[in-house]
Chains A and B, each alone.
Chain A
């Protein structure tokens, strides 16, 4: 089957300047082609540059390296044939539904009568008739996103970009909207010739896309590509779809150098600690230990059972793997021996075990503890560690990583942090011995 190329990216790279002036690569050597008649999904953990890539294609940010072409022409800014649906809807709150939908037409100088007619058609198409005069603030999230979609469709775009378009909606609303869009797409009469969907929901990506690209982070690049040829509408419970979802989970949880199964793959001081909330981690590990999992689970099943989203559960899975409380392999997660002990233990034991694992497997935490122990006062300014981290990541990311380390450190009772003073310090009872020493 020969299809026309719409958007073509070759060796695209993008880096952002961090506060101290050093460049940090967000994307590196990305090759990507969007053909007519296909839906492509971009998956990846936060910080993998998939949103940046989407914005480069939208013409919102220029790439630093490589070549971006739309219909063979270089792309310097937003092209008329490309429209976008935003995660936060990005509706103008002071314009009515009708005016919001007309916005793109007005910008093109289309006369008011034609504008109104086309907008009304788009509004009807997306199921919002009767709400033309409403302000966005009067609508629910799902209806707002429908306005966002109508606004994009009314300009008859060739390419529709969706930036996590369903993730701000509740599960049911998101599913319905997704099905509606797929139905429009399937009817073959949509002016849109290709869709690009950025998502963190694995099931959503597998149900929608003809191709799924999984991004690796730091710097962002395409790690692997998966073609899906199951005809739509796809049944999320069918064997084919389940296998695919498993496969994507396996791809997404490959940590660092490659094989996840082997423990201790040279953890480094400046690892980007996954954004995992310890209390949720506790809950997930407990769930994993119970029936029906008994210590080993298929990740998609665990997602379902825990009622967490993919972007909440995956960091937890990665974090618990990092701490060797679980191990990850081929989209499965299993408790380690320490993990079993942890789940069975009392609160005090859990904190202690967590602290031990933390010092053993997370070099940043160990380094913080080590540095604090050398201080007579047992405390250090957080800036020291932020500086250390920002050598290899931007300031915002460094801040985030340190927050995670502090949360883990507090939970494991390895060190504490004072929000008001910005000092990291040893837990209270640990400070006492050196004090007595100095007294002697």
Chain B
């Protein structure tokens, strides 16, 4: 005790010294991780420098290809030769990353505004809900002509349209996740940020974004697979009387389907597997491992991600320095955007919002909604007719039945398997990664194979097209259940063994309730993805064969192909209603049930 006291007195003398201790290199070093300071560094630098430089050159090349001159109407030469696949993959990857970057910026701006202004929030969140359920083709058909007009005589316009289409399949869930994280920042951390006078900018970088990081990354991964799923639609643009194919994976697949070239499809599948693997290893795995430090709960830290690339990068000297430069720049901006006043200044005084104004704003929002609803009703009445609206509702019901039945079927299949795997730690880690990988793989690449089988045996399309909807999304159920089963407390396992639980009783009283929350999480994701996939899955083409099932998805796909705007709008609207209804009446209930009663 007295040691501390002495120390304190000693230090205090220094405290009043107007010149603080100069920070030498020696004592500066300790603020960095040991690897940075002590490693000889250059060895790792040498190893990593060539690939890094190579990557930069490749990206620069791909970017230069995006801005070539182009006249609308002239087809771009494309080939089905497997040797062009790496080049196409590069082009597509670049588009994906530009779109991902745009989504990230959009999400930050959106979430920051929505979390800060109540008035904006009331409008923005429902809007996001609607945007989220609009299929990508809807956006593309509206915007493509505008983008082309933006850069006349250049390919960049079409590229922008494609990137925008990918953006619309990525941005919404990222924005929503970030917004939700900002709303759920732990109150005591928020209070600490206020007490220590952090400005809005400082709070965002020091508190809000780090807190939101794990959720945001997770959603980025989901967005990426969403982007792959619609890569055909976004690159082989065939809406609004345009017919443009940009060099890329999507166009390659579209061409292969048109030419009924099964070899090309096989090559595309192979290329895709490699691409997803590279993404996983070079991009998401390092990011996840890095984001591990932003985990908020200290308790559940069993499965920390690891990445060889991140470890490598952390051992480098020069390359890491480039990164640290950016961090330093950001930190300088933190001191620049600071608060100059404290709570005793009149500027800190909160002006209480005028209740009249709030009410007026609510009234305006309500009026906008009413007018929009009225317009929609008139629109449907004059352009489509109520009979068809009813028919579309019926189609929506068909798709609803399909989605629900298939989620149930995949639950029956995957829940026992997931539990079995999850209970075996040796398998769980590996298979979970495989399931995650499968979820990232665009399942629609397998559709041509399915079409051939259906056409060959003349199967009923109403039934046999349906499984395609869950082909890509069932994996969410699997890996969530694996995760849930592997986090069942060991003591509970021992207790179940000790009591000699077996057979149906074991499943009913122990295993199923134990994985229920994680199953619900997986099923929510799977159901959302399946609705989206229905547009692609209920209306499949293979050369000149078109298979079609009755449902809202095929209706939208068909109307988009015809460029019939009123009917696209109607289809999208009905689908939104169904998706929101199911979310509200089924998934939210189940989620609350899981939250309240079935967690450890």
Residues of A within 8 A of B (CB): 55, 58-60, 62, 70-71, 73-80, 82-84, 86-88, 90, 92-96, 98, 103-104, 106-114, 116-118, 120-121, 124-127, 132-133, 135, 137, 151, 155, 179-180, 183-184, 187, 189, 419-420
Contacts and interface: CB of A to CB of B under 8 A. Distances in A.
Contact of B344 (A70, A88, A117): A70
A251 to B, nearest CB: 29
25 contacts: A60-B191, A75-B344, A76-B343, A76-B344, A76-B349, A77-B342, A77-B348, A78-B197, A83-B195, A83-B196, A84-B192, A92-B206, A92-B210, A103-B206, A110-B335, A113-B22, A113-B23, A114-B20, A117-B23, A125-B4, A125-B8, A132-B31, A133-B32, A183-B1, A187-B5
Given A95-B206, A187-B5, 9 more contacts: A62-B350, A71-B344, A92-B207, A94-B293, A104-B197, A107-B198, A112-B23, A113-B23, A133-B30
Interface of B: 1-2, 4-5, 7-9, 11-12, 14-15, 20-23, 27-28, 30-33, 186, 188-189, 191-192, 194-199, 202, 206-207, 210, 293-296, 298, 331, 334-336, 338-339, 342-346, 348-350, 597
Contact of B196 (A88, A104, A179, A183): A104
Nearest to A126: B4
A76 B31 contact: no
B199 A179 contact: no
Contacts of A78: 194-195, 197, 342-343
Contacts, number: 149
Given A116-B28, A124-B11, A107 B196 contact: yes
A104 B197 CA distance: 7
B20 A118 contact: yes
A87 B195 CA distance: 14
The 8 closest A-B pairs by CB, nearest first: A77-B343, A77-B348, A104-B196, A76-B348, A59-B343, A90-B192, A90-B188, A73-B344
B338 A107 contact: yes
A108 B28 CA distance: 21
Contacts of B32: 133
Contacts of B197: 78, 80, 104, 107-108
Contact of A133 (B33, B199, B206, B348): B33
B195 A60 contact: yes
A98 B8 contact: no
B195 A58 contact: yes
B338 A155 contact: no
B353 to A, nearest CB: 13
B195 A94 contact: no
A90 B191 contact: yes
A95 B23 CA distance: 20
Contacts of B345: 76
Contact of B7 (A96, A124, A137): A124
Contact of A116 (B23, B191, B338, B343): B23
A180 B293 contact: no
A79 B344 contact: yes
A180 B206 contact: no
A103 B348 contact: no
B293 A74 contact: no
Nearest to B328: A112
B198 to A, nearest CB: 5
A124 B15 CA distance: 13
Given A76-B346, A76-B348, A155-B196, A189 B9 contact: yes
Nearest to A118: B20
B188 A76 contact: no
A94 B5 contact: no
A419 B346 CA distance: 51
A190 to B, nearest CB: 8
Contact of B20 (A73, A77, A117): A117
B593 to A, nearest CB: 10
A180 B78 CA distance: 76
A95 B28 CA distance: 17
B29 to A, nearest CB: 10
